[in-house]
Structure 1
Amino acid sequence: MTLSSIAHQRLYHQRISHTEFVKPEEVVSWMGAMQSQDYLGSLWSVGLRMKDGNEEAVEQALANKTIVRTWPMRGTLHLVSPADVRWMLKAFTPRIISRAAGIYKQEGLDKKIFTRSARLVTAALEGGHQLTRKEVYDVLERGKIATGNTRGLHILGYLAQTGLICFGARKGKQPTFTLLDEWLPAVKLPLQDEAIASFALRYFASHGPATLQDFAWWTGLSITEAKNAHEAIKSSLVQETVNGNTYWMAGSNPVVKPKTASVYLLPGFDEYLLGYTNRTAAIDTNRFKQIAGTGNGILSSTVVINSQVVGMWKRTIARNAAAIDLKPFDSFNKTQKSAIASAAKKYSAFLGTPVKIV
């Protein structure tokens, strides 16, 4: 197996180049978790892994609580299955909160403020209420808790990571927050070690071939914790060594042949790149720095041809249409342009609006 082959396997196992899924919750459950820092981009991440996926169906799944958006891993937003929310928060977020202690101190946030914030937000949301970020900030400000700069965002993140709140349905174009215990019925939590081991198997099935270091980075676990989970499921995995690195995937996964002239328009923060700490199977390190911009936390949407990232794209939404602005690393030939146009048609169907390539 080569690095190029690894990239092709990932496209297949992530259900980008092949899928049997018809429901958003099937995609999210298979993937384990999908980064959702860019909300609209994350909807497309789910939709492109579905047969005939559309944006409305993915948003409806969020409103119907069959998928949930919250802060369960790496201190950033993810889409996860309802059954996974609480055990993930318990397993992954204490380390995130501990690492943020310096930031909290810098922002003047302490246990007393978090406790008061929790009391104020609980009172405002009880009874099934859903409030936008601004409305939650107004509640905190009226309670004499400042939300300026990034204080409000850190408070919201803390309250989500400690299991008080999660995202509800959108109000217009604005996301809302609601009480987790009212949004999702309480469930019996699995044993933590067993849950993490099961999660590891899902990771290597959906993201494989991947390294142990990839899994540790993706979850935020220590390498020792990742090794323990890996050891528990090792008998269900197969391994390949490429350039001195050991890659693992589920033994039930087929080894697939590359699809010729395959083209995909992936959103920023898609798991195809964000699911790994080492992305060189799909993109050169210098090119990755290029799509990651200037370190502002933004990862550009990418054009993938034959498993390799070959450029970037950006969408602009007008009243009755969308435009895709392509920025290739080099130039696209006639065949590639035709294939990109076909990929744009799938995105157009997802949005339910015409898409024009610029």
Structure 2
Amino acid sequence: MEPAELRSRRLFAQGLRGPVVGAERSGGVRSSRADATASPPPTTPEGVVARALAVQAQEYLPAQWGLAQRLPRSMRPDAAAVGGRIDEGAILRTHVLRPTWHFVVPADARWLLELSAPRVRQQMAGTIRKAGWDGEAGSRAVEVVAREVAGGHRTRGEIAEALVQAGLPKDGLLFVLLIAELELVAISGANVGAQRSYAAFDERVPAGPPRPREEALAELVERAVLTRGPATVRDLASWSGFTLRDVRAALVEASDRTGGRIERIDDPDETELWHDAAVAAAWSARDATDATADDDPARIDLLQGYDEYVMGHAMPRAYLQPPGIAAPIIPEFPLHAMLAGGTMIGRWAPVVQGRRATLRVVPWRAFARAERRSLDERLDEVAEFLGMPSEVEIEPVAPA
């Protein structure tokens, strides 16, 4: 598969281009190639999260922009509105999968955590033990967290104080909270000013029967392929934190449960490349006008550094590589990923201080005229999302 086609199809599947083909999924819905027709794209930030299953969210504000930019501009919420949906619990933020911070919706939080918690515990066991929170100490600490959040939403500072009052250290608090998340005791609550808080898991996540591991894994990879494909087995293992063996077995099950919609591509350049056959058909059937809009090489995207277009795939992420740069690209905070036509051409960051923002742009090369127009449009969109006066700083391109 040519790199340009791979990029275009991933942008299309990700909701960063054109209308998205394939149902906005809420979990557990069987589909088939025969009934995989176009469906309305998400219209809310929680709809974007539900469709993607889990959205990496280490950097709180940029991650919210990552949700908003996947919505039509006419109905795109600003940062305050997205934050409000998080406060209300329509979107939850918790450690799941590899683990790292992710946005998930309540309907997916329980089964995703039940599926990934044993794997995360295995991966984090040494770190948790070194921090002193294994065994009895960890159990006592989680009991304190459970007691605190049962009385309402609590900030990290309040939970730390409760640990001290219980005769436990507050050092390593994040490990305590991680364990509480994995044990389905606590999950994100409403913000208290600029402070994050934790709520009782059962308050914010609906009850549901446990899912067989094989079924849950199949849904995990199915929804990942539908929103990140084409993807290799290694991509899916890197994104999910599960083993290659787990992913291969789950893909076979996902293909069966979707009537072949999840399909392996015979590609001599990529081993074990899988895609959504319905999206592939729609992508191929676009008329010339649609194709030009979707594949415009001058289209600039300002993504958060942990965007699923980036982190949904394994290193070295050759599809991001622009001409003349050979080293693998790791577009992580504090500078995020600036793309042109799906390849990285620099970095950017929204720097918020008080009630003003500076949109910092660090290009790796000069902009073509059409690229500069597109960049100005994206910067206007970011400023609109932030909802505050914003100025733009574009660094000069360093001499070659």
**Does TM-score exceed 0.5, indicating one fold?**
yes
Equivalent residue in structure 2 for 1:158, among 138, 158, 179: 179
Distance 1:285 1:30, change over 3 A: farther
Whether the 8 Å CA contact 1:267–1:302 is kept in 2: the answer is yes
Correspondence for 1:250: 276
Whether the 8 Å CA contact 2:142–2:179 is kept in 1: the answer is no
Equivalent residue in structure 2 for 1:229, among 235, 250, 262: 250
Q: Does 1:262 align with 2:285?
A: no
CA apart distance, 1:337: 1.9
Whether the 8 Å CA contact 2:115–2:216 is kept in 1: the answer is no
> SS of the counterpart of 1:245?
coil
**Residues 49-88 of structure 1: matches in 2 within 5 Å?**
49-51=70-72, 52-88=76-112
Correspondence for 2:388: 353
Equivalent residue in structure 1 for 2:318, among 266, 275, 280: 280
Whether the 8 Å CA contact 1:344–1:355 is kept in 2: the answer is no
Task: Choose 118-127 or 197-206, whichever is displaced more.
Answer: 118-127
Correspondence for 2:131: 107
CA apart distance, 1:356: 2.3
- What residue ranges of structure 1 are gaps of 5+ in the alignment? 293-297
Whether the 8 Å CA contact 1:4–1:282 is kept in 2: the answer is no
Q: Which amino acid aligns with 2:49?
A: V
Whether the 8 Å CA contact 1:87–1:192 is kept in 2: the answer is no
Correspondence for 1:6: 6
- What residue ranges of structure 2 are gaps of 5+ in the alignment? 20-40, 285-290, 394-400
Equivalent residue in structure 1 for 2:153, among 130, 138, 141: 130
**Residues 200-349 of structure 1: matches in 2 within 5 Å?**
200-234=221-255, 235-238=260-263, 239=265, 241=267, 243-253=269-279, 254-255=282-283, 257=291, 258-278=295-315, 279-283=317-321, 286-289=327-330, 291-292=331-332, 298=333, 300-349=335-384
Q: Which amino acid aligns with 1:229?
A: A
C-alpha offsets along residues 243-298 of structure 1, whole Å, 9 cap, x if unaligned? 24342211111326313421111112111101111311123662514x34xxxxx4
Whether the 8 Å CA contact 2:113–2:182 is kept in 1: the answer is yes
Number of equivalences: 349
Q: Does 1:182 align with 2:203?
A: yes
CA apart distance, 1:44: 0.8
TM-score, normalization by structure 2:
0.83
Distance 1:131 1:322, change over 3 A: same
Write the distance in 1 (CA, Å) between the matches of 2:125 and 2:307: 29
Correspondence for 2:140: 116
Correspondence for 2:213: 192
Whether the 8 Å CA contact 2:106–2:204 is kept in 1: the answer is no
Task: Choose 39-48 or 188-197, whichever is displaced more.
Answer: 188-197
Write the distance in 2 (CA, Å) between the matches of 1:6 and 1:31: 19
CA apart distance, 1:2: 0.7
Moved beyond 6 Å, runs of 4+: none
Write the distance in 2 (CA, Å) between the matches of 1:152 and 1:28: 27
CA apart distance, 1:227: 0.9
Q: Which amino acid aligns with 1:93?
A: A
> SS of the counterpart of 1:315?
strand
Write the distance in 1 (CA, Å) between the matches of 2:147 and 2:273: 49
Equivalent residue in structure 2 for 1:140, among 163, 168, 178: 163
C-alpha offsets along residues 27-82 of structure 1, whole Å, 9 cap, x if unaligned? 01111110111111111111111122322222222122222111111121101121
Q: Percent identity?
A: 24
Write the distance in 2 (CA, Å) between the matches of 1:61 and 1:45: 15
